[in-house]
Amino acid sequence: MNKSILYTCELKHHRQVAPPLCSICYRVAKCRSFRKWFEIYRDEYLDFVSNICNKFPEKYNLEVILMAEKQTFVQIVDVTTGKIEKIVNLKEIEALSPEEKLELARNKNLFIVTHRIIPIVKVNMKKTAIEEPWQFNLTTEENQQEKEKVKPVSEFSSKAKTSKKK
């Protein structure tokens, strides 16, 4: 029986991990819940972020953060070109048969790596400088309503402060 996993925000500000909330979070690269959620819903997250930035290019820009994932990985490097072909989890390689392991290692160097860096795209609102002061003008009806609400307080004297005449 498969249990559904509810990914919850570590900051406890929001209940659920979701693209609109995580794409603006300042802790997105350090959040454990986001890491687990991102492995499954990577395409959904990237589609959301790219759609927002394409719809509103004057307001938002993309920022790339590198998130380090700590596990034991095997980096497969081609001997002739020196390029990294792929990074595979060590558990996946241990599950292979000996023949498949030999086939995988032919003309390739294998390195054990403890971290894998994943780029995470984050949404930032563009900052604009305010060149002139903002003025909030109320209409005449709103001015009258504000004046009616604010009535001058009449002065009164308390009995404790008055002196008794003899």
Task: Please give, one letter per residue, the 3-state secondary structure of 13-50.
Answer: CCCECCHHHHCCCCCCCCCHHHHHHHHHHHHHHHHHHH
Q: Is the separation of the CB atoms in 124 and 52 below 8 Å?
A: no
75 φ, ψ (degrees, to nearest 5): -95, 125
Q: How confident is the model at residue 131 (pLDDT cuts 50, 70, 90)?
A: confident
Query: Residue 128 pLDDT > 80, yes or no?
Result: no
Helix, strand or coil, per DSSP, at residue 98 = helix
Q: Which residue has the tokens 């002065």?
A: 155
The answer to whether the Cα torsion of 87, 92, 79, 115 is positive or negative is positive
pTM: 0.55
| Burial class of residue 93, CB neighbours in 10 A (0-12, 13-18, 19+) | middle
Q: How confident is the model at residue 32 (pLDDT cuts 50, 70, 90)?
A: confident
pLDDT top residue among 81 and 147? 81
Q: Is the separation of the CB atoms in 74 and 88 below 8 Å?
A: yes
**How many other C-beta atoms can be found within 10 angstroms of the C-beta atom of residue 34?**
23
- 70-87 pLDDT, tens digit per residue, is 888 889 999 889 898 888
Average pLDDT over residues 48-66: 88
Side by side, which strands form the sheet with 108-125?
Answer: 84-89, 60-78, 108-125
Name the token pair of 83: 């390029």
pLDDT top residue among 163 and 69? 69
C-alpha 87 chain-centroid distance: 25
